[in-house]
A = this chain, B = another copy of it.
Amino acid sequence: MAKYKGFAMLGINKTGWIEKDIPEVGPFDALCKPLAISPCTSDVHTVWEGALGERTDLILGHEAVAEVVEVGSLIKDFKPGDKVIIPAITPDWEAVESQMGYSQHSGGMLQGWKFSNSKDGVFGEYFHVNEADGNLALLPEGVDVCDAVMLSDMVPTGLHGANLAQVEYGETVAVIGIGPVGLMAVAGSVLRGAGRIFAVGSRKKCQEIAKFYGATDIINYRDGDIVEQILEANKGIFVDKVILAGGDVDTFEQAIKIVRRGGIVSNVNYIGTGDYIKIPRLEWGLGMGHISVIGGLMPGGRKNMEYLSHLLMYKRLDVSPMLTHRFNKFEDIETALLLMKDKPGDLIKPVVLL
Please list the residues of chain A having a beta carbon within 8 angstroms of any beta carbon in chain B: 26-28, 74, 93-105, 109-110, 131, 133-135, 159, 163, 168-172, 188, 190-197, 214, 216, 244, 249, 252-253, 261-262, 267-281, 284-297, 301-304, 306-311, 313-314, 316
Contact = CB atoms under 8 A, between A and B. Distances in A.
Nearest to A168: B307
A190 B317 CA distance: 11
B190 A110 contact: no
Copy tally for this chain in the complex stands at: 4
A227 to B, nearest CB: 15
Nearest to A271: B287
Given A159-B169, A268-B288, A97 B276 contact: no
A303 B100 contact: yes
By Cβ-Cβ distance, the 3 closest A-B pairs, closest first, are A195-B310, A94-B134, A170-B307
A249 B296 contact: no
Contacts of A310: 170-172, 195-196
A275 B281 CA distance: 6
A110 B171 contact: no
Contact of A193 (B192, B244, B313): B192
B249 A134 contact: no
B193 A102 contact: no
Contacts of A134: 93-95, 99
28 contacts: A93-B134, A94-B131, A94-B134, A94-B135, A97-B262, A102-B261, A102-B290, A104-B288, A104-B290, A109-B285, A110-B286, A110-B289, A163-B169, A168-B307, A169-B188, A170-B310, A270-B286, A270-B287, A272-B286, A276-B276, A276-B280, A285-B296, A285-B297, A287-B295, A288-B296, A288-B297, A289-B297, A293-B294
Given A99-B93, A290-B294, A277 B281 contact: yes
